[in-house]
Amino acid sequence: MTSAAQALETGSQPAFDVSRIRRKFPALRQKVNGIRPVYFDNPGGTQVPSTVISAMRHYLVEANSNSHGAFRTSRLTDQTIQEARQAIADLLNASSANEIVFGPNMTTLTFHISRSIGRVLNEGDEIIVTRMDHDANISPWLLLARDYRLTVRWVDFDVETGRLNMEQMERLLNRKTRLVACVYASNALGTINDIRRVVEMAHGVGALAYIDAVQYAPHGPVDVQALDCDFLACSAYKFFGPHVGALYGKYEHLASLPAYKVRPAPEAVPSRWETGTQNHEGLAGVTAAVEYLAWIGEQCGQPFASQVEEYEGRRRILKQAMLAIQAYEETLSRHLLEGLNAIPGVQVAGIADPDEASERVPTIIFTVEGKSPREVTETLGDRGIYLWDGNYYALAVMEALGCEERGGMVRVGVTHYNTHREVNRFLSELEGIV
Ligand SMILES: Cc1ncc(COP(=O)(O)O)c(C=O)c1O
């Protein structure tokens, strides 16, 4: 157990109060055919607290309008957008709310900005991508390379340990490298990468670092200033909010890169990156999702206060929240790994040692001998346990593991509203079908 998990157990506050947390989520209270579903499909998207639903409803009733008008609902809309920017800036510790760009999802935002980055690259320049990434942080760069005649270099991961080959990344970097695209935590293997080092290495040769934090953001604290990354993308629907994507970009890049935009749209940062009308009700929900996380920080974050003294106000509370979440989820990861390792015929890929649980997010992939991944998820789905199978767009991961042709792998992904009792239910149902 790491010191973080111990802090959670021995802190002056009651341990992570999951029952209280669960009461905030209407979906978690529902029964289907008399059974309460177990939502272990969280890496694909999380459930939302009622405050997110009411914030979206409130926007649609009280403020529904387009932006920049001279009347009440439009002013409220401008305020809604600004509050959401500030909320994400606080969550990621961006130096300014103007460094936050919103869009439909991470994939669209990445395609969008990649085209602009391409405009300042030259034929023969190099881009580094990793086989651990979700395809949303690979394909935009592959297509850019095709369009601008750039060279793509691939970094592998160790299929036994599930770790990214950092030495290979270091070797591939050279003075022609202009961008390194890297995932913070894998949405398949769950491995957390040393992003600080990735950024340092990229900057060492003058390259930009584009970080995909979609899978990491619901599970741990993010600090874009400490990472010093150039871009970092995440999606609110993975952290208890609605379907909205957010991109952090250093102000200097957002101001200087050529933006693909319509002529009447403002040149101001970050609006120049937000094409068309935004999902305003979604943005109201984004703020509420961040507020929900702040509530966790207030309720359960005290044992972690001494670790985050450099932050102030909501930023500090959010860091406390994410540390509390991380510590509790580590106990769930350990439980899952111990249980999966004990079932004959179940094979976990990547970090499978419970003692290394702090090096991963609680997203675990595995195969079941004699069963296709779809058979497993279908059977468990019928019993009210929701899991993913396939490649979850981590195509390169499945190809490297040799599972792509066989229907990928089963993925169990828990989050802080899940319980040890649910893990037990999942493990005993799984054992029953093996
Ligand atoms: C690591 C990772 N990156 C990117 C994405 C794509 O995110 P979006 O659906 O917001 O485009 C996902 C979605 O599952 C993901 O897990």
Query: Which domains, ranges and CATH numbers included, belong to the chain?
Result: 3-47+326-433 (3.90.1150.10), 54-290 (3.40.640.10)
pLDDT of 2 > 90? The answer is: no
pLDDT of 6 > 70? The answer is: no
Alpha-helical segments (H) within 99-165 = 106-119, 139-148
Q: Is 247 in the pocket of ligand 1 (CB under 6 A)?
A: no
Q: Is 346 in the pocket of ligand 1 (CB under 6 A)?
A: no
> Tell me, what amino acid is at 98?
N
Strand partners, 368: 346, 371
Going by C-alpha positions, the residue among 372, 374, 368, 370 that lies closest to residue 427 is: 368
Q: Is 181 in the pocket of ligand 1 (CB under 6 A)?
A: no
- The Cα–Cα gap between 75 and 146 comes to 43
Alpha-helical segments (H) within 164-312 = 166-172, 195-204, 224-227, 251-256, 280-300
pLDDT of 343 > 80? The answer is: yes
Mean pLDDT of the chain: 96
pLDDT of 95 > 90? The answer is: yes
pLDDT of 249 > 80? The answer is: yes
Which ligand 1 atom sits nearest the alpha carbon of residue 243?
10
> Tell me, what amino acid is at 352?
A
Confidence category of residue 9, pLDDT binned at 50, 70, 90: low
Q: Is 183 in the pocket of ligand 1 (CB under 6 A)?
A: yes
Which ligand 1 atom sits nearest the alpha carbon of residue 110?
11
Choice from 110, 130, 134 to test ligand 1 binding pocket (greatest atom count within 8 A of CB): 134
Which ligand 1 atom sits nearest the alpha carbon of residue 212?
3
Which pLDDT belongs to residue 15? 76
Residues 94, 88: contact at Cβ < 8 Å?
Answer: yes
- The Cα–Cα gap between 24 and 53 comes to 11
- How far does residue 134's CA lie from ligand 1's centre (Å)? 7
Which pLDDT belongs to residue 7? 57
pLDDT of 232 > 70? The answer is: yes
Q: Hey, how many other C-beta atoms are within 10 angstroms of the C-beta on 172?
A: 17
Give the CA count within 13 Å in the CB-facing half-sphere of 164: 27
Q: Is 235 in the pocket of ligand 1 (CB under 6 A)?
A: yes
Mean pLDDT of 306-323: 98
Choice from 214, 279, 363, 397 to test ligand 1 binding pocket (greatest atom count within 8 A of CB): 214
Instruction: Specify the residue for token string 């200087």.
Output: 256
Which pLDDT belongs to residue 3? 56
pTM assigned to the model:
0.97
**Joined tokens for residue 109:** 């935002």
Q: Hey, how many other C-beta atoms are within 10 angstroms of the C-beta on 105?
A: 17
pLDDT per position as a tens digit, 101-127: 999 999 999 999 999 999 999 999 999
Greatest C-alpha distance within the chain: 66
- The Cα–Cα gap between 52 and 290 comes to 9
Which ligand 1 atom sits nearest the alpha carbon of residue 107?
11
Which pLDDT belongs to residue 4? 57
Q: Is 187 in the pocket of ligand 1 (CB under 6 A)?
A: yes
